Amino acid sequence: MTNQPFSHTKFLLLFSTLLPFLVISQSPPSDQEILLQIKQEWGNQSQIQSWNSTTSHCQWVGINCTGGESVTGISLNSLNIEVEIPSSICHLKNLTYLDLGNNRIPGNFPTFLYNCTKLQTLDLSANYFVGELPNDIDNLSLDLQLLNLSLNNFTGNIPTSLGRVKGLITLHLDSNLFNGTFPSELGDLENLETLVLAYNPFTPTKLPENFGKLKNLKFLWMTQCNLIGEIPKSFADLASLEHLDLVDNSLEGGIPSGLFLLKNLEFLYLYQNLLSGGLPTSIEALNLVELDISQNNMTGIIPDDIGKLQNLTILKLFQNQFHGTLPPSISQLPSLTQVRVFKNRLSGTLPPEMGLHSKLDSFEVSENAFTGQLPENLCLNGKLRGVVAFNNYLNGTIPSSLGQCKSLLVVEVYNNSLSGEVPEGLWTSEKMMFMQLSNNQFSGQLPEMTAENLSLVELSNNKFSGKIPESIKTWRNLQVFKASNNMITGTVPLELTTLSQLNTLLLDGNQLSGELPSEIISWERLNSLDLSHNDISGSIPSVFGSLPVLTSLDLSNNQFSGQIPPELGQIKAPSLNFSSNQLTGEIPFGIDNSAYQASFLNTHLCSDTGFLDLPKCSIRQRNPNLSSKYLALIIVLALVALVVTLYYMVFIIREIRQRKNRQDLDTWKLTSFHKLHFTEEKILANLTEKNMIGSGGSGKVYWIPINQSGDAVAVKRIWSNKKMSSHLEKEFLAEVQILGTIRHLNIVKLLCCISSENSKMLVYEYMEKQSLDKWIHEGKRETISSMSGSIHYPVLDWPARLKIAIDSAQGLSYMHNDCSPPIIHRDVKSSNILLDSEFNAKIADFGLAKILAKPGGEPYTVSAVAGSFGYMAPEYCHTTKVNEKIDIYSFGVVLLELVTGKEPHIGDEHTNLAEWALRHYNEGNPIKDVLDKEVQEPCYLEEMTNVFKIGLMCTSALPIYRPTMKEVLQMLQRRSILEGSGGAKTKNDRDVSPLLGGENYISSCKNSKRIVEEDVYSMV
């Protein structure tokens, strides 16, 4: 059979038969197959284990489909994904929505997302992305409308090409580490409605005029962006603008008057800048809800047109230079809840109708020059929580209506000329906590009953009279009672000693008489007692010697008689005063020393020790069987022999030392930073082993007495008998450079430095109670010997711990905010917080400290990471640039130590106290469970809980969430209970920090955001 040629027709027939199979074999993978591949590339993360081929992929967690099988959306927010995004995700050709926010995804910006050509929403916020954004970022989808890259670690510049992604409506780049510039080209995004650049350390940059072209912009947030210069006048062209936040920058000049003509503007936050000039007299932004331009340099008058803002709820103009009156029209606003105009130069009378037309919540007008009376109707609508009007010239009485105000927490009207009696209902207002009425002309008697929560009462320098009521025992939560310089009569009742929470009691300058109670029922927390300048008689109660935490006792200028009980020799109070009484006899041994030189003036007391300038006590009866003549002879001969021997020994020793010192002193140089009462010879002569009190990697520490009164200094000797190493040289120079120039009560005082070729010494004030860690960590508490006697480390109670926290915060706040340029400690820890004899805390050890800015404002860069494990901020391990936030993180760890009693490292080397505390909090466990059981008591629980939360805020993983040291100090001090940090919170804030809980704190830290949880604690 002959072969027939393979015809063209047959070939076509065969090809058409095989074509379907060829097509099938080359068809792209299905969306389900792509998703399963992504699951495999992600390492089968537990959160997406439910993705499997047995069910429709459109039913899988985080997957959204349109039209049956086509995947259009992926939302895997908050699933703890810890690996990079697979590039295969863009094989989903119809993907329009991708949300991978709030995970732990590492790496650089994933440029393969350019291949997701239909993407409209891209959310990569709150991950661990690093590096710079690519310059070709405009290759993202032309359809992209929302880009959220906030809460990452991106650095460098924001690329100008981003201004070419024309479809963008929402752009979030806040809370990163951008340290370059942001481009004016963002003003070319004509569709943009939301622009958030807040919390980035940009290089100092002016706001671009070009931003005024954003006609559709509704929301602009640029808090802490290092803005300088003036607010562009072109911002008055932002006709759609509803929310403008330029808080905490260095903006200067005037506020463009056009901003107050924007019809849609609801929230205007410009506080904490350098703005000056006045407010415009014409205000037409009638939709304004919150106006905050506090903490600037604004001048002029407050315009009457503010009274046209019928929707205004919050008005904050405090800490400026406004003068004139507070316009009465403001009191007519129906929605107004907060008026905060304190610390200006305002005068005149307060609007009498304030509170009559709105549900006023807080009224703060302190530190002005207001006259006249407090408005009668402040609490007419029953919502008022605080009246803060101290340091004015107010007169008249406290309005009787405040006596019926059940919502009040705080009344601060001290330093005025108010008179009359305090309304009875004010004392018993059920939520009342703080009443500060000092330095007025109030009269009347102390109340029989007070509010259960009342913890602070200050009445000093008024005309209160009558007796202390026996019912004072019902003031159970009272912690501070100051009633100095009044006309209170009668005796100090036994019932007063039942107040177990009392820590400060000042009743000096009254007309108290009779004897003090011989029994004290419950003053375990009392640390300050002043009964001076009264007419109290009888003996001093011996039980005063058993008050465990008493640090100040003043009984002077009374009629006490008899001896000082021996039990008072056990008292540890650094401040004592028994002067101007009828006391007789010998001073108890424990307090008979030079530290109390001025404590026994104008008395009939005596002392045989020679420490005090007092008469000698009577010589005890001699033995009648021993002849006085022989006794005198024996004493004289013994003394002569002793003097001769001592003289000979001293002569020889002095000659040896002088020879050596003459050789040594020629090589030593003393540089003093304070007036000194000793010489380098005195220091060098006492550098002996018996005076050594500590040692470390850089040298030894010595206790050196400098006079016979018991005064001493601490000397840190570096590089003894060896050539100096470079890092020790740097530590020495840092310590001298910083401590030699700064002065603060809560920073250890460097008196001088003494140096030679091979050895250097730093001479400090001596801190008797040593370091904080020895008082709060159970494993370190023990009785040790110091040069001034044995120190026992008992449990440090909560009031003392809180005071130490405040002291330390004051020192750090001074370094960060009041030094120019700022100083960064870099090694804040409990062992570097020293305590003096009165438990005042001081920051020490500045060997690693850095002055933050170089000349010209350039950020400080370090060549190596330094610090202590458990205290180092996470970003410090992978960046060479340092700022205040690393100190704030370390201080947050110290706060957690104070409230939990735990050491900074818990468990293995990968677990520290901050992480452990955060995990406990995020798992919803009660905070009470981790507080130090040795100091945890019901009365302190809320305060300890609040400090625990402050510690968590300070140790936030990202530095932009940490408050400033000044804000931390304000939270700890509760200096302005109503104000907190002066921040404005709005419904537009996407992440909100927990407020500091309950009714003790009325507002939270300014615009605080963090990643602990999205809990919102309502203001009570």
SS (H, E, C) 393-428: EECCCCCHHHHHCCCCCEEECCCCCCEEECCHHHHH
CATH top class, domain 29-203: alpha beta
| Predicted pLDDT at 990 | 29
The residues near 548 (Cβ < 8 Å, ≥ 6 apart) are: 524
Q: How many H-runs (helices) and E-runs (strands) does the chain carry? A: 12, 57
Residue 786 has pLDDT above 80, yes or no: no
**What is the per-residue pLDDT for 809?**
93
pLDDT band at 610 (very low <50, low <70, confident <90, very high): confident
As a whole number, mean pLDDT of residues 825-847 equals 87
Q: Which of 826, 824, 803 is nearest to 815 (CA)?
A: 824
Name 129's bridge partners. Answer: 107
Residues 256, 282: contact at Cβ < 8 Å? no
SS3 state at 314: strand
CB 329 within 8 A of CB 352: no
Phi, psi of 653 (to 5 degrees): -60, -45
C-alpha pair distances (Å), 95 with each of 108, 197, 278, 754: 22, 27, 52, 71
pLDDT for 878: 56
Q: Which residue has the higher pLDDT, 989 or 801?
A: 801
pLDDT band at 657 (very low <50, low <70, confident <90, very high): low
Q: Are 424 and 447 in contact (CB under 8 A)?
A: yes
Over 80: is that where the pLDDT of 93 sits? yes
CA atoms within 13 A of residue 271's CA, in its CB half-sphere: 23
pLDDT of 616 higher than 80: yes
Question: Is residue 720 predicted with pLDDT exceeding 80?
Answer: no
Q: Alpha-carbon distance 822 to 516, whole Å?
A: 52
* Alpha-carbon gap, residue 1020 to 191, rounded angstroms: 40
CB 736 within 8 A of CB 750: yes
pLDDT computed for residue 996 by the predictor: 34
- Label residue 344 by pLDDT band (50, 70, 90): very high
| Cα angle, residue 965 at apex, residues 964 and 970 outer, rounded to 5° | 100
pLDDT in the model for residue 658: 56
* pLDDT score for 675: 76
174 is catalytic: no
Virtual torsion, Cα 73, 79, 84, 87, nearest 10 deg: -20
Give the span between the Cα atoms of 412 and 392, in whole angstroms.
Answer: 11
Angle at which helix 913-922 crosses helix 884-900, to 10 degrees, equals 70
What gap in Å lies between CA 979 and CA 996, rounded to an integer? 12
The mean per-residue pLDDT over the stretch 100-119 comes to: 94
Tokens of 341: 């105009």
**SS3 call for 737:** helix
Inform me whether the pLDDT recorded for 593 exceeds 90: no
**Proportion of the chain above pLDDT 90, given as a percent:** 53
Cα–Cα distance between 649 and 46 in angstroms, integer? 82
In the numeric block, which tokens belong to residue 57? 């992929």
Residue 612 in tokens? 């005090």
Per-residue pLDDT band at 1018 (split at 50, 70, 90): very low
Average pLDDT of the segment spanning 643-650: 72
Give the class (CATH, top level) of 667-766.
Answer: alpha beta
pLDDT value for 847: 64
Give percent of the chain with pLDDT exceeding 70: 82
- On whether the CB atoms of residues 748 and 842 are closer than 8 A, the answer is yes
Helix (H) or strand (E) holding 40: helix 31-41
Q: Give the residue from 357, 365, 369, 371 showing the smallest Cα distance to 386.
A: 365
Q: What's the longest Cα–Cα distance across the chain?
A: 164
**Residue 207 main-chain phi, psi, to 5 deg:** -70, 130
Instruction: State residue 323's pLDDT score.
Output: 96
Averaged pLDDT, 723-731: 58
Taking the chain, what is the end-to-end CA distance rounded to the nearest angstrom? 104
Q: Give residue 300's pLDDT band: very low, low, confident or very high (50, 70, 90).
A: very high
**Domain 791-1020: CATH superfamily, name plus number:** Transferase(Phosphotransferase) domain 1 (1.10.510.10)
| pLDDT recorded at residue 1020 | 21
At residue 759 the predicted structure's pLDDT band, cuts being 50, 70 and 90, is confident
Q: How confident is the model at residue 970 (pLDDT cuts 50, 70, 90)?
A: confident
Residue 600 contacts by C-beta under 8 Å, 6 or more apart in sequence? 578, 579, 583, 587, 612, 614
Asked if pLDDT for residue 1012 goes beyond 70, the answer is no
3-class state of residue 653 by DSSP? helix
CA dist., res. 260 & res. 231, Å (int): 13
Copy the structure tokens of residue 935.
Answer: 């100091």
State mean pLDDT over 451-477.
93
Q: Which of the residue ranges 193-197, 527-531, 618-622, 977-981 has the most confident prediction, judged by mean pLDDT?
A: 193-197
Tens digits of per-residue pLDDT, 391-439? 999 999 999 999 999 999 999 999 999 999 999 999 999 889 899 999 9
Residue 202 is predicted with a pLDDT of 95
Nearest CA to 261 out of 232, 231, 278, 241 is that of 241
Q: Strand, helix or coil at 33?
A: helix
Who's near 9: CB < 8 A, 6+ residues apart? none
Cα-to-chain-centroid distance, residue 1013: 20
**CA-CA-CA-CA torsion sign (315, 318, 323, 326):** positive
Local structure of residue 7 (DSSP, 8 states): -
**Candidate ranges 56-60, 145-149, 911-915; pick with highest mean pLDDT:** 145-149
**Does the structure show a pLDDT above 60 at 864?**
no
87 pLDDT higher than 60: yes
What is the pLDDT at residue 725?
A: 56
Q: Residue 505 has what pLDDT?
A: 95
Q: What is the mean pLDDT of the chain?
A: 83
Kind of pairing, strands 669-672 and 604-606?
unpaired
Q: Answer yes or no: is pLDDT of 992 > 60.
A: no
The pLDDT of residue 365 is above 60: yes
Q: How many CB atoms lie within 10 A of CB 608?
A: 16
CB 545 within 8 A of CB 570: yes
Confidence of residue 651 (pLDDT cuts 50, 70, 90): low
Sign of CA dihedral 786, 789, 794, 796: negative
The one catalytic residue in 248, 827, 887, 991 is 827
For range 189-207, the mean pLDDT: 95
Name the DSSP class of 464. Answer: E
Banded model confidence at residue 631, pLDDT cuts 50, 70, 90: low
Q: Look at 26-30, 43-47, 719-723 and tell me which has the smallest mean pLDDT.
A: 719-723
Q: What is the mean pLDDT of residues 929-942?
A: 87
Q: How far is residue 305's CA from residue 323's CA, in Å, rounded to a whole number?
A: 16
- 772: burial class by Cβ within 10 Å (0-12, 13-18, 19+)? buried
Confidence band for 189, pLDDT divided at 50, 70 and 90: very high
- Which is more confidently placed, 992 or 131? 131
Instruction: Please state, in angstroms and rounded to a whole number, the distance separating the CA atoms of residues 748 and 765.
Output: 7
Residues facing 130 on adjacent strands: 153
Residue 693 host element (H or E): strand 692-696
Residue identified by tokens 């040692």 is 695
For the cut 80, the answer to whether the pLDDT of residue 118 exceeds it is: yes
Confidence bin at 659 (pLDDT 50/70/90): low
Report the pLDDT value the prediction gives residue 790, as an integer from 0 to 100.
45
Annotated ligand binding at 769? The verdict is no
Residue 785, SS3 per DSSP: strand
Position 934 scores a pLDDT of 87
HSE-up (13 A, CA, CB side) for residue 800: 24
The DSSP letter of residue 338 is E
Tokens encoding 49: 């284990």
Residue 557 CA to residue 532 CA, distance in Å, equals 6
Question: Does residue 203 surpass a pLDDT of 80?
Answer: yes
DSSP for residue 642: H
Residue of 1001, 999, 909, 993 whose CA lies nearest to 951: 993
Residues contacting 612, CB < 8 A, separation 6+: 587, 592, 593, 594, 596, 597, 600
What value does the mean pLDDT take over residues 621-648?
Answer: 62
Residue 793 has pLDDT above 80, yes or no: no
The mean pLDDT value for 79-97 works out to 92
Q: Confirm if 501 and 478 have CB atoms less than 8 A apart.
A: yes
- More reliable by pLDDT, 321 or 747: 321
User: How far is residue 986 from each of residues 193, 266, 309, 654, measured CA to CA in Å?
Assistant: 18, 11, 18, 75
Report pLDDT digits (tens) over 485-534.
999 999 999 999 999 989 899 999 999 999 999 999 989 889 899 999 99
**Stretch among 323-332, 679-688, 917-926, 972-981 having the lowest mean pLDDT:** 972-981
- Alpha-carbon Rg for the chain in angstroms: 36
**Mean pLDDT, residues 240-260:** 96
Asked if the model's pLDDT at residue 592 lies above 60, the reply is: yes
